[in-house]
Amino acid sequence: MLSVSCTSCHTRFDDDGTYYALCPACGGVLDVDVTAERLRAVDPAVLRTAAPEGIDHYRDLLPLGGPFPWPSLGEGNTPLVHAERLAEAFGIDDLWLKNEGQNPTGSFKDRPIAVAVAKAIECGARALVTSSSGNAGASLAAYAARAGVPAWVLVPERTPSQNVGQIALHGARVVKVRGDVGEVFNLGLEIARAFAWTNVSTTFLSPFPTEGNKTVAYELARQRAWTSPEWILVPVGAGPLPYGILKGFRELHELGMVASLPRMVAVQAEGCAPIVRAYQQRRPVEAWGAPQTVAKGIADPLRGYEHDGELVIDMVRRSGGTAIAVDDDEIMSAARLLARAEGVLAEPTGAVAVAGAKALQRRGLVRPGDHVVAVVTGSGLKHVEGLSADAADPPTIDPTLERFVAAVEA
Ligand SMILES: Cc1ncc(COP(=O)(O)O)c(C=O)c1O
C-alpha cells in the first residue's frame, strides 16, 4: 500500500483514494513515502529505457494505483544538450542543458501536472483548479482536455496574453486575478474548498505533483550513463522541481544505479528571492514584499506558504548545494546567449539556471572537471517579443536583392 508522511509531524497516512493536500494532522507538507518494499518492486530495465510515450513509463515509482490509462501527451524524454560554447564563455569545463522547454506544452510543468491529473481522476475528481503564473495553467489546460475533465485556471492579472490564450485554447476556464502569485494561490485554496474541486497546484500543496519531477532525475541519470553530475541548477519559485530531482536521484542511489548524489542549487531572481535571503541570513523564510522581476514564473512571494521555502533550504543543505540569486540583466543576457550560442530558446524564467551557472562559477564553487547541469525549465516560444527587439520589429523590404543588401547594411 502506498502511503504519504508529513515532513513536519511525521504522521503517516495510507494512500486511500484521497487527493492529499497539506497534512490533516498539523498542516505541514506531505511527501510520498519511498519504502524499501516499493523500491524492490521496481524493474531496473524500465529505468534503463527511454520513455518517449510519456512519464507513465516510470509508473512503479509514481504514486498511481493499478492499471489505469494516463492522460499522457508524451511528456518528459527531453534532450540533454552539451553546451560547449556557454561552458567556454562561463569558464566551466563541462556544462549541459536539460531542455524542459521541449515538453508538450513548453515547460517542465507537464511532468507534475500529468501525475496530478491522473491522481486526481483516480481519486474521483469532478473538476480541477490551479493557480499559476502561466505554465502550470497551460499544462493543466492541456492534460484536463486530454482527460476530458473540466478545469479552471487562476492567473495573475498581468500574465502575458500568449499564456492566457494557450490556456483558453485548450478549453479551460481562465480567470485573471488582481494580485501576485501568492494572492492567486490563496484564492485557489478557497475556491477548491467552496466548490469541492481538486486543487492540483504544483507547489508543495499536495505530495502528488512533486513526484512527477522525479522523472527528470531518471532521465538525467540514463542520459549521463548512470553517473550523477556534481551540480544541478534549477530556477525556484516554490521549489518542488529541485526537491523532486534530488528525491529521484536518492531512489536511484538506493537502487544501486548511481554511485553519488548531485549538489542542488536553487536559483531565484534578485527581485523575488525569499528562499535565498533566508538561506544566506540563516533565518526563517519570510514572504517577499512585492516581487519585481522579468522571471515571472518564479515571482512567487510564498505568502501564506513560507514552509515551502524551508523544505527547499533543507533539501539544498542536505545535498551540499547552495541557493543563489541573479538579477534581471543576468537573466536576460543568459536567455539571449542560450538562443545565440546554443540554439536553445528559453523564456526568461527558463534561463535563470543558466545565469545561475555563471554566478556559481564566479563564486569559485565549480571545481575543474565538475559536471554542471542547468535545467532550462520553459520554452521561449511564448515570450519571443519580450526577449528580443529584433523579433518584435524586423526590417520589411520590397522583394529585390538591392533592398535586401540595403537592409543587411543597415
Ligand atoms: C518556466 C518556469 N520555471 C520554473 C518555475 C518554478 O516553479 P516552482 O514555483 O514550482 O518552483 C516555473 C513556475 O511556474 C516556471 O514557469
* Ligand 1 atom nearest to CA at 136: 14
Q: What pLDDT, on a 0 to 100 scale, did the predictor assign at position 67?
A: 65
Q: What is the CA radius of gyration of the chain?
A: 21
- pTM here is 0.95
Higher pLDDT, 69 or 111: 111
Strand partners, 338: none
Q: What pLDDT, on a 0 to 100 scale, did the predictor assign at position 179?
A: 84
Pairing of strands 263-269, 231-235: parallel
For the chain, give the mean pLDDT.
Answer: 93
> Cell digits for 334?
543568459
Task: State the average pLDDT over residues 355-377.
Answer: 97
Question: CA distances (Å), 387 to each of 271, 291, 381, in order?
Answer: 18, 20, 10
> Which amino acid makes up residue 119?
K
Whether the pLDDT of residue 44 is over 70: the answer is yes
The lowest-confidence range among 58-62, 66-70, 120-124, 291-295 is: 66-70
Q: How far is the CA of 280 from the centre of ligand 1 (A)?
A: 21
* Ligand 1 atom nearest to CA at 235: 4
Q: How far is the CA of 298 from the centre of ligand 1 (A)?
A: 5
Task: State the average pLDDT over residues 279-304.
Answer: 95
Could you give the CA distance from residue 64 to residue 216 in angstroms, rounded to a whole number?
18
* Ligand 1 atom nearest to CA at 236: 11
Q: Is residue 349 within 8 Å of 235, Cβ to Cβ?
A: yes
Q: What pLDDT, on a 0 to 100 scale, did the predictor assign at position 34?
A: 93
Q: What pLDDT, on a 0 to 100 scale, did the predictor assign at position 9?
A: 97
Closest Cα to atom 15 of ligand 1? 297
Higher pLDDT, 130 or 158: 130
Residue 274: which residues within 8 A CB-CB, separation 6 or more? 268, 285, 286, 287, 288, 301, 302, 306, 309
- Each residue's pLDDT tens digit, 220-257: 999 999 999 999 999 999 999 999 999 999 999 999 99
The lowest-confidence range among 52-66, 81-95, 130-144, 376-390 is: 376-390
* Ligand 1 atom nearest to CA at 135: 16
- Each residue's pLDDT tens digit, 140-171: 999 999 999 999 999 988 888 888 999 999 99
- Residues at CB less than 6 angstroms from ligand 1: 107, 133, 135-136, 202, 235-241, 297-298, 300, 347, 349-350, 377-378
Report the residue count for the chain.
Answer: 410
Whether the pLDDT of residue 68 is over 70: the answer is no
Scan for cell 493499478, then name that residue. Answer: 66
Could you give the CA distance from residue 30 to residue 4 in angstroms, rounded to a whole number?
6
Angle in degrees, CA 395, 398, 401, rounded to 5? 95
- Each residue's pLDDT tens digit, 183-193: 889 999 999 99
Q: Is residue 133 within 8 Å of 159, Cβ to Cβ?
A: yes
Best substitution site from 103, 135, 155 to test ligand 1's pocket, by max atoms within 8 Å of Cβ?
A: 135
Scan for cell 560554447, then name that residue. Answer: 85
Closest Cα to atom 1 of ligand 1? 378
Instruction: Read off the pLDDT band of 400 (50, 70, 90).
Output: confident
SS3 395: coil
